Amino acid sequence: MNKPYVVIFTGEITPSVDVDTVKSNLVLSTGISDAKAAKLFGRGEVVLKHYATTAEAERLADKFYQAGAICDIRDSRLGSKNPGAEVGGESSLVRMLKHFTGSSKRHSSINRQRQA
């Protein structure tokens, strides 16, 4: 089964939350270990998981966002061979601002690419 949608943790967190709180939130909300949560930080962008549909990818991205971690969803068929690479040249500030509109209004990289 082809799973073209990639959920990527950008390495960024929401401004109102500190890194230790985000790590704890991720452990509680996703069930990952403390060690895995710690490994997500300080590495830049991290590919979390591939999904077949945007709805599945959006669920994981929203769960991370509620914990305070900012993720992108990218269609690996539209960008470079590296699914962690920036697609569309959007700045991290623009991505962060889009996340502040709320999880129901979040726009993923997929939607931005389709509109272009």
Give the pLDDT confidence of 5-42 residue by residue, as tens digits: 999 999 999 998 999 999 999 999 999 999 999 999 98
State the pLDDT at residue 97.
Answer: 47
Give the pLDDT confidence of 38-87 residue by residue, as tens digits: 999 988 899 999 999 999 999 999 999 999 999 999 988 876 544 444 44
**pTM (2 d.p.):** 0.66
Alpha carbon distance 74, 110 (integer Å):
5
* Domain assignments of the chain as residue spans, ordered by start: 5-115
Structure tokens at 63: 């769960």
Segments in the chain forming alpha helices (H): 19-30, 34-39, 54-67, 92-99, 109-115
Alpha carbon distance 80, 77 (integer Å):
8
